Amino acid sequence: MRRDKRQGFSRWRAAWIAATLVAAGSLLVVASDNRPERVPSYVSWTPETIAAASAGDAFRGMLLAKHCEHCHGAEGFSAVGATPNLAGVNRLAIWKELEDFRSHKRRSPVMEPIAGSLSSRDVADVVAYYAKVPVFEDLQDNRSFPQPRPDQKRSAMASLLVSFGDGERGIPPCQSCHGPVAYKIGVPSLANQNADYVLRQLEAFANGSRSNDINMPMRTISILLSEEERHALAGYYGSGLGLDTGSSR
Amino acid sequence: MNWRKLRTFLLTVLVLCLIPATRYYQIDEPLMRLLKSPRAVDPLSLHLAGEFVESNLGTEQGSDGSVTVRMIAQQYLFVPHCILVPAGVPVHLRITSADAVHSLNFIGTKYNVKVVPGTISEAQLQFPEAGDFKTACTEFCGAGHYAMRSKLKVVPRDQFPVLGAQERGTCAAR
């Protein structure tokens, strides 16, 4: 009797295993038929997203931002050029980057775990705080901003690209999205950004190691820029030549 | 009423009638045709799923040899930035906008495609000869409008790469 039961059981088990294998196989076939869709970022600027990202409490954010001070500076200006300045950056821009770090769409061994430890409320609060941090000069702070100006040739090259772009190559002017002329939604103002950070991001976009720009504008533009133009643009923004109306905050 | 006055009056009426009619047939009617089309897409979530995810942009070659080009127009870029098509083959263009109204003009050819957010603009194009063309946005779309240009590369039919079902052809720098 027992033996029969066991035999029956094993037969059922065999049937189950076979069914599972068939199901898994068919799933694999279906998966290989589907195109692997590359999604740059899970953020989509719907009115609900914007409302959630703008509903932060800046005072609570100020307390949370004590964790950020070590790298991003007590006044939102970092001491190391490779670390971005956060003071006065459009809140939606920092919000999107933190969300992308949380969903591992933007890679950084430092920022991914930190952003992952924040709740969505924490993220909204922190970005509300940094958008309100003033950007005026402070000689007692050990910030690395502003860096020395690039030479005359590079400055001229950069200011042409910033204000006019290059229509011949299809490069739009930087100021039409990064300010001060216009701010596209979720786009950071670069007026107070470090040269080294801007350069590293342009290079990361160009070589594909950063790919979280929605509909790939920066991956397209950074490839069109030459090596010297990238350095020139980074130097332009890093030396404080970029302007900011603050209207995006 | 003398003849001169009557003539002026009639001409004025005629001109006043013509202005809205021109506007209707050149601007409103094509726009309304696009807006009423059922092929609606969400311009805010093109990158998340559906036809216009970034890995699906570019030239697609069907198993029957048909060629489809998918593009996104956005402030202030066309993506992909350089389209690759074979010469002498009908090309089916499908383009949508991620933000404002744009217009894709293939400079030096007869084609101009209006792109309205929320709809997919379709066009049948054919380029008889190989060559490099430039494209430009011809609908004012914002501060960087005048620099919104891209490229079109028409290659001879035998030089067009054989694309797999998963591959998308493009000549944009990578």
Q: Average pLDDT for consecutive 10-residue bins of chain A (249 residues)?
A: 52 63 52 66 93 94 93 93 92 94 93 94 95 88 90 94 93 92 91 94 94 93 95 94 76
What does the alpha-carbon distance between residue B114 and residue B109 come to, in Å, rounded to a whole number? 15
A164 exposed, middle or buried (CB, 10 Å; 0-12, 13-18, 19+)?
Answer: middle
Question: How far apart are alpha carbons B148 and B166 in whole angstroms?
Answer: 29
* pLDDT at residue B162, as a whole number: 82
Cα dist. A80→A89, A95, A114, A199, B144 in Å? 18, 22, 18, 14, 32
3-state secondary structure at position B122: strand
Do A218 and A126 contact (CB within 8 A), yes or no?
no
Across B90-97, average pLDDT? 94
At residue A182's C-alpha, the angle toward residues A178 and A183, to 5°, is 55
Half-sphere exposure of A92 (CA within 13 A, CB side): 21
Task: Provide the pLDDT for residue A30.
Answer: 44
Quote the CA–CA distance of B58 and B56 in Å, as a whole number. Answer: 7
Q: Indicate yes or no: CB of B173 within 8 angstroms of CB of A170.
A: no
Instruction: Find the length of chain B.
Output: 174
pLDDT of A31:
44
On whether any CB of chain A is under 8 Å from the CB of B132, the answer is no
| Residues on A contacting B at a C-beta cutoff of 8 Å | 35-42, 44-46, 164-173, 175-177, 181-182, 184, 208, 214-217, 220-221, 223-224
Please say whether the beta carbons of B150 and B76 come within 8 A: no
Structure letter (DSSP) for residue B159: G
Rounded CA separation A198/A174 (Å): 12
Q: Residue B154 belongs to what H/E stretch?
A: strand B149-155
Q: Report chain B's mean pLDDT, rounded to a whole number.
A: 88
- Cβ B149 vs Cβ A199: under 8 Å: no
Q: Is the pLDDT of residue B35 over 80?
A: no
| Chain A neighbors of B48, CB-CB under 8 A | 39, 42, 44
- pLDDT, residue B21, reads 78
**Bridge partners of B123?**
B93
Q: How far is CA A132 from CA A70, A172, B123, in A?
A: 19, 29, 48
User: Exposure pattern of A194-205 as b/e (b: 16+ CB <10 Å)?
Assistant: bbbbbbbbbbbb
- pLDDT tens for residues B13-26? 999 988 887 777 66
* Residue of B45, B56, B149 lying closest to A44 (CB–CB): B45
Question: Which residues from chain A sit within 8 angstroms of residue B173, using beta carbons?
Answer: 223-224
List, in sequence order, the alpha helices (H) in B37-116.
none
Helix (H) or strand (E) run with residue A111 in it: helix A111-116
Q: What is the pLDDT of residue A230?
A: 96
CB nearest to B55's CB, from A38, A171, A223: A38
Q: Which residues of B touch A208 (CB under 8 A)?
A: 174
CA distance B147 to chain A (A): 4
Whether B48 contacts chain A with CB within 8 A? yes
Of A46, A172, A216, which has the smallest distance from its Cβ to B76's Cβ? Answer: A172
CA distance, residue B174 to nearest chain A CA (Å)? 7
Q: Tell me the helix, strand and coil percentages in chain B, rounded to 5.
A: 25, 35, 40
Q: Dig out the tokens for A222 from the structure.
A: 């950074």
pLDDT number for residue A221: 94
Is the minimum CB–CB distance between B74 and chain A shorter than 8 Å?
yes
Q: Is residue B63 within 8 angstroms of chain A, CB to CB? A: no
Distance CA B38, CA B36 (A): 6
The token pair at B169 is 């052809």
Contact A172 B147 (CB under 8 A): yes
Q: Do B56 and A35 count as a contact with CB atoms less than 8 A apart?
A: yes
Chain A and chain B share a number of CB contacts under 8 A equal to 96
Q: What DSSP letter does each residue of A88-102 carry, written as one string? A: T--HHHHHHHHHHHH
Nearest chain A CA: its distance from B32 CA (Å): 24
Q: Choose the closest CB to A166 out of B48, B147, B166.
A: B147
CB count within 10 Å of CB B118 equals: 15
- At residue A32, the pLDDT reads 44
- DSSP code of residue A91: H
Instruction: Please name the helix (run of DSSP H) or strand (run of DSSP E) that holds residue B105, with its range, or none.
Output: strand B102-106
From A35, A36, A215, residue closest to B72, measured CB to CB: A215
